[in-house]
Amino acid sequence: MSLSDCRVIELPKVTEARGNLTFVEGQRHIPFAIERVYYLYDVPGGSVRGGHAHKGLHQLIVAMSGSFDVLLDDGLKKKRFHLARSYYGLYVCPMVWRELTNFSSGSVCMVLASNLFDESDYYRDYDLFLKDAQL
């Protein structure tokens, strides 16, 4: 898989006077079943999160509140996405390095993942990732 497989997905948005509702159904709105959900919050100004890639994990990254940037890198190309709406999610496929930066005050980043946590699925060394991504 490569950077060209990553994309912003518009999620369903039900709008009414009482407020909006957005929902995500695995394998319907996103191309994987959801096995894990986690979120980042209270990220100090100037901090960078992520800084890794996954061998087999699929993710959807959503700015639930506030905004932040996601820099994706497949070893050949890089692309920056700005997330600022809770009804848009960034689909990130396996073998793509990601860094999350430029968090606004009070931002919350939710991540839907295709698998439970497994440390052996991570590339935390960029040079090793590049070596394996170039195969």
Could you report the per-residue pLDDT of 48-79, keeping only the tens digit for each? 999 999 999 999 999 999 999 999 999 999 99
| In contact, 52 and 67? CB cutoff 8 Å | no
Cα distance between residue 135 and residue 4, in whole Å: 17
Predicted pLDDT at 37: 98
Handedness of CA 127, 119, 35, 108 (dihedral sign): negative
Give strand pairing partners of 57: none
DSSP E strands in the chain: the ranges are 7-10, 13-16, 19-22, 36-41, 49-54, 59-65, 68-73, 78-83, 88-92, 97-101, 108-113, 122-123
What digits encode the pLDDT tens for the residues 88-123? 999 999 999 999 999 999 999 999 999 999 999 999
| Tokens 């980043």, residue located | 109
> Per-residue pLDDT tens for 26-50?
999 999 999 999 999 999 989 999 9
Global pTM value: 0.95
The percent of residues in the chain predicted with pLDDT above 70, rounded, is 99
- Assigned token pair, 128: 């090793």
Q: Per-residue pLDDT for 135 more than 80? A: no
Average pLDDT, the chain: 96
What does the CA dihedral 102, 91, 29, 105 come to, rounded to 10 degrees? Answer: -10
User: Which residues are known catalytic residues?
Assistant: 52
pLDDT at 56: 97
Residue 132, phi then psi, degrees to nearest 5: -75, -30
